[in-house]
Amino acid sequence: MALIKIAPSILSADFARLGDEVRAIDAAGCDYVHIDVMDGHFVPNLSFGPTIIKAIRSHTKKPFDVHLMIDPAAPYLADYANAGADIITVHCEADKHLHRNLQVIRSLGKKAGVSLNPGTSVSVLEPILDDLDLILVMSVNPGFGGQKYIASQTDKIRAVRALIGNRPIELEVDGGVNADNVKMIKDAGADVVVAGSAVFSGDDYVKTIKALRTAAQ
Ligand code: DX5
Ligand code: ZN
C-alpha cells in the first residue's frame, strides 16, 4: 500500500513567522500544505484569506490544499485560485449549488474537493463522484485545531473508500489525527491526513512528520 500523505495545517503554525513555518514543513517532507480558511459564519472562528495565501505562495512549491470553511464560497473561488491554491475544497453544507462550485473549481484549472462535517451522511457524495478530485472527511467539527478525533468517523472513512471505488479521488481525513490513531485512519482508507497540532506542537517538524508516517505503516 502507498505511503500516507501528510498535510500539516498551518492553522497551528506561528502566524508571525508564517513564511518560515511553510519553508520548515516543506523541508521536513510534508506532501501538501493544508490551509484552513474560516469566516466566523460557517464556523465560529476566523483565520485568513487569499492575501495571506498569496504571501506564502513563494515559500514552497508543495501543493496548497485549501480547505474553505466559508459560506458562501462561490463568490471567492477565483480569488483562491489566483492566490495559488492547487486543491480547493468546499463544504457540502455551505452554499446552495455544490455541483456548480465543483465545476467552477475545475474550470479554474484546480483540483476540486468536497468536505463533509461529522454529522453529514456520505450519501451526499453519490451524485458528484465524477466531479471530484478529493473528499475531505472531517473527523472533528470544523473551526478549531487541537480537538479530539470523533470515533464514529472511522466507519464513514470506510464507507467513503468503498464509494470511491477505482475513481482517481484522494480521501483526506482532517481533525484530531495523531501518531496513536493514524494507522487506524489509514487502514480505514485514508490517502492523506491533515495534522495541525500533531506537527506544530513539537519543535522538530522532521521528527513529528516522520513519527506520523512511521506510525501509519
Ligand atoms: C479544523 C481544521 C483542521 C484543524 C486540524 O477546522 O479544518 O485542519 O486545523 O487541526 P488538528 O490536527 O490539531 O486537529
Ligand atoms: Zn482543514
Structural domain count of the chain: 1
CATH number, domain containing residue 197: 3.20.20.70
Other CB atoms closer than 10 Å to residue 217's CB: what's the count?
A: 10
Least confident piece of the model among 2-6, 22-26, 176-180, 187-191: 2-6
Express each pLDDT in 71-98 by its tens digit: 999 999 999 999 999 999 999 999 999 9
Residue of 64, 197, 208 to test ligand 1 pocket, by largest number of atoms within 8 Å of CB: 197
Residues with Cβ < 8 Å from 60, sequence gap 6 or more? Answer: 22, 23, 25, 26, 33
Q: Write the pLDDT tens digit of every residue in 93-143.
A: 999 999 999 999 999 999 999 999 999 999 999 999 999 999 999 999 999
- pLDDT(66) > 80: yes
Catalytic sites, residue numbers: 36, 174
Task: For residue 177, report the distance from its CA to the centre of ligand 1, in Å.
Answer: 9
3-class DSSP assignment, residue 170: strand
CA of residue 124 to ligand 2 center, whole Å: 19
Count of alpha carbons within 13 angstroms of residue 44, beta-carbon side? 1
**Would you say residue 1 has pLDDT above 80?**
no
Query: In terms of residue numbers, what domain contains 194?
Result: 5-216
Q: Which ligand is nearest to the CA of 12?
A: 1
Ligand 1 site, CB within 6 A: 9, 11-12, 34, 36, 67, 140, 142-143, 145-147, 174-177, 194-198
Query: Of the bound ligands, which one is closest to the alpha carbon of residue 117?
Result: 1
Percent of residues, the chain, with pLDDT higher than 70: 100
Write out the three cell numbers for 42. Answer: 460557517
Cα–Cα distance, 17 to 100 (Å, whole number): 36
CB atoms within 10 A of CB 136: 27
Close Cβ partners of 80 (under 8 Å, ≥ 6 residues apart): 37, 50, 53, 66, 68, 88
pLDDT in tens, 169-178: 999 999 999 9
Of 41, 46, 153, 174, the one to substitute when testing ligand 1's pocket (max ligand atoms within 8 A of C-beta) is 174
Identify the helix (H) or strand (E) that includes residue 208.
helix 205-216
Give the predicted TM-score (pTM) of the model.
Answer: 0.98
Helix axis angle, 18-27 relative to 205-216, nearest 10°? 50
Judged by DSSP in three states, 59 sits in: helix
Residue identifier of the C-alpha nearest atom 4 of ligand 1? 145
